[in-house]
Amino acid sequence: MNGPSLIALLCWAALASCSQKRDAEKIVEQVSPSVVKIETFGASDLLLSGGTGFIVSEDGEILTNYHVLENASRAMAKCPDGGYYAISHIISYDKERDLIRAKLEAEKEFPFLKKGNSANTPVGAKIFVVGSPLGLENTISEGIVSAKRHWDGYIQPLLQITAPISPGSSGSPVIDDEGRVIGVATFNLKGGQNVNFAVPIEDYDDLEYAFLPFQDFGSNAMYSDPEYIEAMKLHKKSPPSIAILPIATSLVEKYPHNFECHFLFGTALFELELYEEAKSCFLNALRINP
């Protein structure tokens, strides 16, 4: 290779490196304001775990993984501008696909991310992941879409990506080179080297609509409720006490989507020989958790 050709090649490599650096800087600037760190708390209000979510509407709807929120009594989202907001409602979710859409408790306009198209993103395309691995907020990593794999229960093929996913990264947006979300970082294969997976963004359009207060969704919320504690005391008594019925009725009204509430109510009715009423409660429980 002659001198001028070598110089041209080195200049091209330098320009390519600068371009990649500018791409990453542009993505951070464009995406980071809409990525939140999620903190979840249990029944005793102790910190359970953390994760990541991202804002998908100007009124504060966020998308994350179902497993990030499923065991929480309450959850908070920390925004890059320092705002700290309660997650007040669950809008829609799908446990099997590990996606959940929730609402921040805030009266303001939020910057939000635009949806891309995972189906049109080719294998080999550059991607970025912005999240809070190990609690380190607004960490950006980059990689490529290394494969697309069909997986039972998902509408689109899962995106296999090389960008690292660590504890705390769950729920992070996977971003294309135009700053649009094409997936939600979800899990990795243990023992694999950069074998990480993201749920395609198209799947969140097909989530089961719920819109329920967060306390009705968090599985630990009911267990610290004084009425639940009293109901369990009455439930253990023999012979069964009719005093449990108004308490069980109240619990079902407060936690209508909680399987255990309906099952507890049904068991109490059955023990009191109110069989038809018990049957109705058991059927409700089965609808929630077949």
CATH of the domain at 180: 2.40.10.10
Q: Is the confidence at residue 5, as pLDDT, over 60?
A: no
Q: Is the confidence at residue 16, as pLDDT, over 80?
A: no
Same structural domain, 180 and 247: no
Q: Is residue 196 part of a domain?
A: yes
In this prediction, residue 17 has a pLDDT band, given cuts at 50, 70 and 90, of very low
Strands 158-161 vs 84-94: parallel, antiparallel or unpaired: unpaired
Q: Is residue 233 part of a domain?
A: yes
Q: Is the peptide bond before 239 cis (omega within 30 degrees of 0)?
A: yes
Same structural domain, 137 and 191: yes
Q: Which residue would you say has higher pLDDT here, 52 or 18?
A: 52
What's the whole-number mean pLDDT along residues 22-27?
76
User: Would you state the structure tokens that stand for residue 267, as one six-digit string?
Assistant: 């068991």
Q: Which of 13-27, 110-124, 237-251 has the lowest mean pLDDT?
A: 13-27
- What is the rounded CA–CA span in Å between residue 30 and residue 20? 15
Q: Is residue 255 part of a domain?
A: yes
What's the whole-number mean pLDDT along residues 221-225?
69
Same structural domain, 173 and 140: yes
Strands 139-149 vs 126-131: parallel, antiparallel or unpaired: antiparallel
Strands 126-131 vs 208-213: parallel, antiparallel or unpaired: unpaired
Same structural domain, 181 and 234: no
Q: Which residue would you say has higher pLDDT here, 19 or 162?
A: 162
pLDDT (0 to 100) of residue 15: 44
Q: Confirm if 176 and 116 have CB atoms less than 8 A apart.
A: yes
Given 204, 236, 263, the domain boundary residue is 204
Q: Is residue 76 part of a domain?
A: no
- Report which residue type is found at 183: G
Helix and strand counts by DSSP (H, E) for the chain:
7, 13
Same structural domain, 197 and 253: no
Predicted confidence (pLDDT) per residue in 30-48, tens digit: 999 999 999 998 766 778 7
- What is the rounded CA–CA span in Å between residue 122 and residue 105? 37
Q: Is the confidence at residue 107, as pLDDT, over 60?
A: yes
Q: Is residue 18 part of a domain?
A: no
Q: Is residue 147 part of a domain?
A: yes
Radius of gyration of the chain (CA): 24
Q: Is residue 154 part of a domain?
A: yes
Active site (catalytic) residues:
67, 98, 170
What's the whole-number mean pLDDT along residues 92-117?
93
pTM value?
A: 0.70
Same structural domain, 254 and 185: no
Same structural domain, 130 and 171: yes
Same structural domain, 133 and 196: yes
**What range defines the domain where residue 240 resides?**
225-288
- What is the rounded CA–CA span in Å between residue 131 and residue 126? 17
Residue environment code for 110-143, b if the CB has 16+ CB neighbours within 10 A, otherwise e: bebbeebebeebeeeebbbbbbbbeeebbbbbbb
Q: Confirm if 155 and 140 have CB atoms less than 8 A apart.
A: no
Q: Is residue 235 part of a domain?
A: yes
Mean pLDDT of the chain: 85
Given 171, 204, 237, the domain boundary residue is 204
In this prediction, residue 112 has a pLDDT band, given cuts at 50, 70 and 90, of very high
Predicted confidence (pLDDT) per residue in 113-145, tens digit: 999 999 999 999 999 999 998 888 989 999 999
Number of domains in the chain: 2
Q: Is the confidence at residue 12, as pLDDT, over 50?
A: no
pLDDT (0 to 100) of residue 264: 82
Given 146, 171, 204, the domain boundary residue is 204
- What is the rounded CA–CA span in Å between residue 205 and residue 105? 22
In this prediction, residue 254 has a pLDDT band, given cuts at 50, 70 and 90, of confident
SS3 for 87?
strand
What's the whole-number mean pLDDT along residues 148-174?
89
